[in-house]
Amino acid sequence: MLRHRLTALVLSLWLASIALAQFWLLQHQFTPGPHGDTPNVWPVQSAICPQPGRFTLLMFAHPKCPCTRASLAELAKISARSAREVDCHFLYVVPPGAPPEWASPERRVSPPEMPGVHILTDGDGKEAHLFGAEISGLTMLFDPTGKLIFRGGITSGRGHEGDNPGQAALFAWISGHESDVKEVPVFGCPLFDPQGSN
């Protein structure tokens, strides 16, 4: 009898620990990062030069963020469909104090084939600071006049690929249909975390 009770207790504790772990993982996956202070118009101090008559899209990423692969996959879809209308820039933010090898392309998450996307290294996060970017995966869209029209993530959770409100809003804006969605949550690592963990 005692043996059965002990077995039942161990089984109950085991199931409870699994449930708690799953709850923590789901909560972590769908908890967005904090919002930074993004300028409403293109900052003239930026080293990136918008192309006349085109939208400009920026995405900021931490070189070690495991969620970056999903963000890159969604960016590849956008660039494939909108290369004529949008000038895309993907910036790997190297936090101050990070090892020098983080600036090396071999140490980053490998991007998929993305024709027309400019892949840049943002040393010490100068551009990220300028645009108020704090979370890996943050994507911004500026219209041809330099006005900010969208800010947010283009994944529906940490490391989660697939259709999502941010991606849909970008496609709407780029195709000339004004979207009600101008800001959505961002899921990813803190950009200035030198450990690169979320």
Per-residue pLDDT tens over the stretch 142-173: 999 999 999 998 886 555 566 778 888 998 99
For range 2-10, the mean pLDDT: 57
Domain ranges for the chain, please list them.
55-174
Per-residue pLDDT tens over the stretch 51-92: 999 999 999 998 888 888 888 888 888 888 887 889 999 998
| Nearest by Cα to 140 from 75, 68, 44, 47 | 75
Please give the class, per CATH, of domain 55-174: alpha beta
- 125, burial (CB in 10 Å: exposed 0-12, middle 13-18, buried 19+): buried
Per-residue pLDDT tens over the stretch 86-137: 999 999 898 887 777 776 665 555 556 677 788 888 988 999 999 999 999 9
